[in-house]
Structure 1
Amino acid sequence: MQVFRGTIFHFLSNPALVKREEDSYQFINDGLLITEQGKVREVRPFQKEDKNKYKVIQDYSGKLLLPGFVDAHLHYPQTEIIASYGEQLLIWLQKYTYPAELKFSDRAYAVQAAQFFLGELLRNGTTCAAVFPTVHKISAEVLFEQALVNNMSIISGKVLMDRNAPEGLLDSADSGYKDSRELIEKWHHTGRLRYAVTPRFAPTSSPHQLEMALKLKEEYPDIYIQTHLSENEAEVEWVRRLFPDHSSYMGVYHEFGLTGHHSLFAHSIHLNDAEWTIMQETNSAAVFCPSANLFLGSGLFELNKARENGVPVALGSDIGAGTSFSALKNMSDAYKVSRLSGYSFSPLDSFYMATLGGASALDLDSETGNFSAGKYADFVVLDWNASALQARRQQPLQTIKEKLFALMMLGDDRNVVATYIAGQKRYSKV
């Protein structure tokens, strides 16, 4: 048993779907998080007699104990090209992304890249993520190996690309199927790992490869599908030319049978009403990647449309087009997108999307995302006052909502004191 003391905040439900926001979360100003064998036993207010009841209390008084962040879309091979200057999506891929990904045929290179990447996730308080490797089988293998060491909840799978990419980054429909099948057999449900069949996006997969992706989904019904959708207007037009017999970009995935409960569609910016309907009817999830969308000038995600259609939404950093691993920084960018789009994105929306909402969109909310009894004790300890400016801003604030808003607008990795996975400290600032 482990006992942690601090300010506790977590969600019980979606704040956008309750009559009173206060009913969606639990806030304990001075509380105890009690874990046993890596899972949450209870959360409750601290009492004076607890000092004698428990021999050891890890005291984070004055700090915020929050469920670990969920990052639903990012690329570990793109860590080294973060902050690459001046292009929109399709040129950016050719100029920066593909040259970087060619290096991941080398196991030793992939190992050091995966270790650094996972270290950055932990340093930023992220305990669960859906990750793209490269087309190379070894790049997925290495990521799974390193994630298993930290007992992280990771969804990933080798990228499928059999056309419209450099020679060293192409597989075939049959080799992609074979490699994916071998990886599924070895890694899906090993520890806390899940496998995602991962067509990069429709333009780099032939119709035959998309058919083979469906075959994998049919053979392993609980695996995931992860891909990109309608990030950029030129990309949407390219898909229209490549798939002239399909109804739309979303229609390509749907008509190949790749939509559904475990399907994650990164970006989902330029969707028409029929595409939103497909998302809703298939219970597919959209991943909002505000930092990347702003950086590449791709467009503004329509959160209101997603809400109106009842589409699950998670938050993604989209490293390396996204410019920060920090969920707090990405929440800040999401707020700015909301202001440009004329709708409200409250701090409760943000923190829900980055914790329980993200876990729910990934269908992992039965094991992570909040402090309900029996879930894994995945959490981050945050310092409200990580800089002089933050301390000055937090000092007069009274409500938890005000404090969370200032934290998300001014915060970053400096706020992360420690990150725990299944009750074990995997990162410490000191």
Structure 2
Amino acid sequence: MSSTRTAYRAAILHSIADPAEVGIEASYEYFADGVLLVEDDLIKAVGPAQTLLPTLGDVELIEYENALITPGFIDTHIHFPQTGMVGAYGEQLLDWLNNYTFPCESQFGDKAHADQVAEIFLAELLRNGTTTALVFASMHPESVDALFEAAERLNLRLITGKVMMDRNAPDYLTDTADSSYAESKALIERWHGKGRLHYAVTPRFAPTSTPEQLSLAGQLLSEHEGLYMQTHISENVKEVEWVKALFPERKNYLDVYDHYQLLGERSVLAHGVHLCDDECARLAETGSAIAFCPTSNLFLGSGLFNLAQAERFKVNVGLGTDVGGGTSFSLLQTLNEAYKVMQLQGEKLSPFKSLYLATLGGARALRLEERIGTLQPGSDADFVVLDYKATPLLDYRISQSKSFEETLFVLMTLGDDRTVAQTYAAGRLVHQR
């Protein structure tokens, strides 16, 4: 079978390391006039056009003017069933769950409804340049099947799982410890490792799972190779107090998950707004990651994530839109909010660190840095084409830029779904603006 080779010419940028570890200048590669060579579903070469073009031979060449190619964006925390309630008004976390989230999620036992929303959800991700996501489904197995089926058709790298929730939620949304184990196990056997799909054991958060359910979640992780675990932690002060009351024998919130053997290299805990130093040290020890979700933390009044603390303890951090607590599928807009979160704490967020969080940082949080998050040869050909002239204001503002760093920052403050001209997953065009 013959291979398909295509070269893409534009400005090209990708992260190669964490700026917190190597400094900004050593953290990225930028080619003002670059070429990305793709063979079938993999990246074969990247570099300056002047160097690469004479070596390519007979290859289709697609050229973009006034555009930037970056790796596909990676969303490490988002809720598929909350697509229909994004932007719900005026609550903090616990009331917001009861008044909006749970009623919306109750609809996902209907496979036809789940199928419809899965198509809308994935289309929104791709419209915004997101090629990999770690996703909460609902507690209904139908929701997981719907999302995996839709992602498989597009050959996306997607990670999701059935929410496990057996207390402190409406009766119409609770399972039992045993049923959540059995349903999760069946889904794992059906989907985990199929193509580019991965399964995540998904206890919603400590207050909605009994000790029995958390114990069985840990058992699932021990029984199957390469599973993910996703949950929430320390998003809201009242939530933290609630966990202390429910688990008085545990020394802190993270210790609940640690006790039930839920922490490990493929564990991603969303938010972490109110973590103590001991919790950060333990996250680093276990290789667990945090999903930084600035738009939802601001929207729900939860607080400001301390990125500097996470960096000090060398905790892996990815970026999450957290739709529907978050207000946009766009990781560009999420980075806009992340910059403001850092400013409110007297910290600066470089646009190159922002790029890292949205790409390679997310890949490292998911332990997928050998496959995604950069444009290094051998990586999956997941990439996006960003249009410098997507809107009249963006076009005018970028024309005033005095450096590429300034241009990148403008993309992250003024950019949104309109900025994404094309999205490619495994070498295939999956979104055309």
* TM-score range relative to shorter protein: over 0.9
Aligned residues between the structures: 428
| Partner of residue 155, structure 1 | 159
Moved over 3 A (4+): 47-55
Q: Which of 112, 119, 122 matches 2:123? A: 119
Q: Single out whichever of 378-387 and 44-53 deviates more from structure 2.
A: 44-53
SS in structure 2 opposite 1:318? coil
Per the alignment, residue 397 of structure 2 pairs with: 393
Can you list the C-alpha shifts for 1:182-223, whole angstroms capped at 9, x where unaligned?
111111110111110000000000000000001001101410
2:43 is matched with which residue?
A: 40
CA drift at 1:413 = 0.5
Partners of 1:208 and 1:101 lie apart in 2 by: 23
Q: Among 202, 207, 210, which residue is 1:203 paired with?
A: 207
- Closer, same or farther in 2 for the Cα pair 1:34/1:109, shift >3 Å? same
Cα distance in structure 2, aligned partners of 1:49 and 1:374: 16
SS in 1 for 2:326: coil
User: What is the CA–CA distance in structure 1 between the aligned matches of 2:164 and 2:372, rounded to whole Å?
Assistant: 29
Q: Which amino acid aligns with 1:380?
A: V
1:267 aligns with 2:271: yes
RMSD (Å) for aligned C-alpha atoms? 1.3
Show the counterpart of 1:26.
Answer: 29
Matched, 1:174 2:178: yes
**Cα contact 1:30–1:61 (8 A) shared by 2:** no
The offset of 1:272, in angstroms, is 1.4
Q: Cα distance 1:241–1:5, how it changes in 2: closer, same or farther (>3 A)?
A: same
Cα distance change, pair 298–50 in 1 and its aligned pair in 2 (3 A) = same
Residue 276 of structure 1 is matched in structure 2 by 280
Question: Does residue 1:365 correspond to 2:344, yes or no?
Answer: no
In 2, are the aligned partners of 1:264 and 1:284 still within 8 Å (CA)?
yes
Q: Report what 2:146 is aligned to.
A: 142
Residue 49 (structure 1) shift: 9.3
Name the TM-score, length of structure 2 as normaliser.
Answer: 0.97
Equivalent residue for 1:235?
Answer: 239
**Gapped regions of structure 2 (runs ≥ 5):** none
Are 1:155 and 1:195, in contact at CA under 8 Å, matched by a contact in 2?
yes
Choose 25-34 or 393-402, whichever is displaced more: 393-402
8 Å Cα contact 2:35/2:52 also seen in 1: no
Q: Deviations over 1:208-263 (max 9, x none)?
A: 00000010011014101100000001111111111111111111011111111111
- Which residue of structure 2 aligns with residue 340 of structure 1? 344
Partner of 1:2: 6
Following superposition, the deviation at residue 62 of structure 1 comes to: 2.2
Amino acid at match of 2:306: E
Does 2:258 correspond to 1:258?
A: no
Correspondence 1:45-194 to 2 at 5 A: 45-47=48-50, 50=53, 53-194=57-198
Residue 277 to residue 49, structure 1, CA distance change in 2 (3 Å): closer
Q: Distance in 1 between matches of 2:294 and 2:366?
A: 18
Within the candidate set 345, 354, 361, 2:358 is matched to: 354
Residue 50 (structure 1) shift:
3.8
1:407 to 404, 411, 414: 411
Q: Deviations over 1:327-352 (max 9, x none)?
A: 10000000000000111111111110
Cα drift, residue 61 of structure 1: 2.8
- Cα distance in 2 for partners of 1:44, 1:86 equals 48
Separation (CA, whole Å) in 2 of partners of 1:247 and 1:104 = 36
1:399 CA drift (Å): 2.3
Compute the displacement of 1:398 (Å): 3.2
1:296 maps to 2:303:
no
Distance (Å, rounded) in 2 between the aligned partners of 1:129 and 1:278: 25
More deviation, 390-399/405-414 = 390-399
TM-score, length-scaled by structure 1: 0.98
Task: Report the Cα offset of residue 56 of structure 1.
Answer: 2.5
Is the CA contact 1:14–1:352 (under 8 Å) kept in the aligned structure 2? yes
Tell me: CA distance 1:7–1:201, structure 2 relative to 1, closer, same or farther (3 Å): same
Secondary structure at the aligned position of 1:292 is classed as helix
- Per-residue deviation at 1:280? 1.5
Structure 1 unaligned segments of length 5 or more: list them.
none
Aligned residue for 2:106, secondary structure, equals helix
**In structure 1, C-alpha distance between the alignment counterparts of 2:427 and 2:391, rounded to whole Å:** 27
